[in-house]
Amino acid sequence: MDNTPIPVFTIGAEKLDTDLAVLQKAYDSVTRGARGIILGRNIFMAQNPKKLIDALNEVMNNGVKPEDAAKKYGLK
């Protein structure tokens, strides 16, 4: 994404089956150069939105692997 003069964001779109899938999508997006993600239903329909947001922060800002973040926050 070095050839894009503006930040690129990933949109969550479909409801993913697990919190780990949400974390993996975020991880894949930022490791491929996205500057952020936009999620709706994957957050507000999660069993524990606060824990998922905390785990997403770890994945996106600290480079934590999705499986490790899920384990740390008790997500599946």
pLDDT tens, residue by residue, 17-76: 999 999 999 999 999 888 888 999 999 999 999 999 999 999 999 999 999 999 999 999
Given a contact cutoff of 8 angstroms between Cβ atoms, the answer to whether 34 and 10 are in contact is yes
pLDDT of residue 2: 61
Query: What is the structure's pLDDT at 66?
Result: 98
| pTM attached to this predicted model | 0.88
Going by their DSSP bridges, the two strands 9-11 and 36-38 should be labelled as parallel
